Chain A
Amino acid sequence: MSRIELETVRKRFGETAALDGVDLEAREGELLVVVGPSGCGKSTLLRCVAGLEAVDEGAIRIGDREVTRLRPAARNVSMVFQSYALFPHLTVRENIAFGLVVREEPKQVVLERVAEASALVGVGDFLERRPYELSGGERQRVALARALVRRPDAFLLDEPLSNLDAGTRVQMRTELRRLHREIGSTMVHVTHDQVEALTLGDRIAVLDAGRLRQVGTPDEVYSRPRDLFVARFLGTPAMNVLTSEAASPFLQIPEGTVLGVRPEHVRITTDGVPAKVDIVEVAGSDAFVHLDRGLVGRVSADARPAEGAEVGIAFEREATHLFDEATGERVDRP
């Protein structure tokens, strides 16, 4: 296992900057999740690390080696693709063994490593099947086994769970976490799903329009977002943002700033600032309460108010965030 380091990496496609000076490090043995909206450059970042795209500027290091100009195979990384990229004409066994066979490893080594990798991800029972005979989850496991078998320096996972149904995705997310714990390799996982990012990553990196917005543990990034983009991107429903005028009934904030408050920190009480409940969405154990002040609260479904009810709302000063109105940057309170 090796750390991966990107130093001021730039990549353009015509007039569009897919990566605009990205500095990022995936530490040794870490599961780093790169998250961002569609088209933010996260897959391009992964493809640059893999060597499938050449960077225009900057440097990429894997371990102690500078790999910026090395061909993909020489970088010794494995990649799991969103579409799994399993070879349909080969059996599961042949797919898993593919990289070893290409590298002309001895037959005994191939057999042992395939058995080991397939046992690790639980595909040992269908080694003789072909990919089109497998479910999405099973294909995903085979793709993981193919990545594992070569024992690469690092793993690159490009939205590997996005083609799965909701149930299988949650299950595979847990399994990915377990797998990472067992093998302890450096992994860079790309996703647009913030829940996946927050639950899976040791650290997460938020990317927007080719620029890195924030890197930190899920807790850091969620609790202390560096700017409005990160604040709004992470969390469901998104963070409430109030101008100083709209925030004045609740808190006095400095001029030129906006107030951010997460829905779970909006307290719906009998006292507090009066508001009317517009819509209530029940999502299992939680309910999202849309209020007429443009606020959304997140409460326990058991304690949800009725639609049209007059309620009072309040939030703790410590649970709120301040951002510069012009730049969107976080403003720390004195």
Chain B
Amino acid sequence: MRAGDRRWGGWRQPAAIAVAVAFLLPLWFMVSGSLREPGQPPPRAPEVIPRPLSTTSYERAFDLVDLGRHTVNSLLVAALTVPLAVLVASLAGFALVLVAGRARALLVGLSFAALMIPVTALLVPRFTMFRWLGLTDTWVPLVAPALLGLSPFYVLLFYWSFRRLPPELLEAARLEGMKPFAMWRRVAMPLVRPVTIAIALLAFIASWGNFLEPLIYLFDPDLYTLPLGLRSLETLDRTNYPVLLAGAVAATAPVVLAFAIAQRYFLHEDRGAGWLGR
């Protein structure tokens, strides 16, 4: 153990616990609040476990709004968006690695510039474009950004990951006669799996929590995604906070589940030094 590690060793665990508690407490109060009887006022003091425990708020939330359908809709949109975003962002990132110096610098610069444009600045032109194409009140406007990698940030993340690979690996593949697409599929992508999973998770969270775009593009309640369902819940029973929290738990659970499944792939990289032959 290095001297620095020893110095921090004693503090690391309590600090980690403190940070975890700070982040988990709101989640815990969300869950415990959702297990209160519907219609009860908020507790006067923090309540770790509500008495009596009840799941009625969940039944009420799903009765008031068709949260099941909205969840399925959100899952379908995410199922289309996430793979497409990962596919396009990784291909674009790999293309950036393959193009020659100046063109690459220009493209990376443009990607950065695109990253600086606020999403809200594009809402009106995009809405106008999709309305002109007759695609409002469909999921197409929600999925379409995935055709551009969802965000330049994901393209740049892939680009940086591919840049970290030893160039000789791609050169060896070229010498063996591999074409760029095969190199992307059979050499580059398997070597950046943790990054791919992290980006897929980020794309899933972005799609799942997307409120603004469904709000402006979707009019038919049957097409609503979960964030719009939650808004409906809030509109229908504004003061019934156990019911609102039950809806929030239903909306949060899939993200937590997705992270729990994915984290083992990107937090436990245990192949050690020399994995890339360096």
Contacts and interface: CB of A to CB of B under 8 A. Distances in A.
Interface of A: 50-52, 71-73, 77-79, 81-89, 98-99, 102-103, 131-132, 139, 150
B177 to A, nearest CB: 3
Contacts of B190: 89
A150 B175 CA distance: 11
A88 B277 contact: yes
Interface residues of B, number: 22
Nearest to A89: B190
Contact of B177 (A73, A84, A86): A73
Top 5 nearest A-B pairs by Cβ distance? Answer: A73-B177, A85-B168, A99-B176, A85-B172, A89-B190
A273 B276 CA distance: 58
A4 to B, nearest CB: 15
B271 interface: yes
Given A87-B169, A102-B182, A52 B174 contact: yes
B52 interface: no
Nearest to A134: B274
A85 B275 contact: no
Nearest to A78: B175
B166 interface: yes
A52 B182 CA distance: 18
Contact of A85 (B166, B272, B274): B166
B177 A85 contact: no
21 contacts: A72-B174, A73-B174, A73-B175, A73-B176, A73-B177, A73-B178, A77-B175, A78-B175, A79-B171, A81-B168, A81-B171, A85-B168, A85-B172, A88-B277, A99-B175, A99-B176, A102-B173, A102-B177, A102-B178, A131-B277, A132-B274
Interface centre among B177, B272, B277 (most CB of A within 10 A): B277
A82 B177 CA distance: 20
Contact of A98 (B168, B171, B176, B191): B176
A2 B35 CA distance: 79
Contact of B172 (A51, A71, A81, A132): A81
Contacts of A73: 174-178
B187 interface: yes
B271 A50 contact: no
Contacts of B175: 50-52, 72-73, 77-79, 99
Interface string B147-179: 000000000000000000010110111111110
A51 B176 CA distance: 12
Contacts of B173: 98, 102
A142 to B, nearest CB: 10
A99 B177 contact: yes
B277 A139 contact: yes
Contacts of B275: 88, 132
A87 B276 CA distance: 8
Contact of B276 (A88, A102, A150): A88
Contacts of A89: 190-191
Contacts of B182: 102
A98 B175 CA distance: 11
B274 A79 contact: no
Interface centre among B169, B182, B191 (most CB of A within 10 A): B169
B188 to A, nearest CB: 10
Contacts of B277: 83-86, 88, 131-132, 139
A302 to B, nearest CB: 43
B179 to A, nearest CB: 9
Contacts of B174: 52, 71-73
Contacts of A83: 166, 168, 277-278
Contacts of B171: 52, 72, 79, 81, 85
Output the residue of B271, B272, B274, B278 with the most chain A CB within 10 A. Answer: B274
Contacts of A85: 166, 168-169, 171-172, 277
A132 B271 CA distance: 8
A132 B272 contact: yes
A53 B86 CA distance: 31
Given A79-B172, A88-B277, A102-B177, 9 more contacts: A72-B171, A73-B174, A83-B168, A83-B278, A85-B172, A88-B275, A89-B190, A99-B176, A102-B182
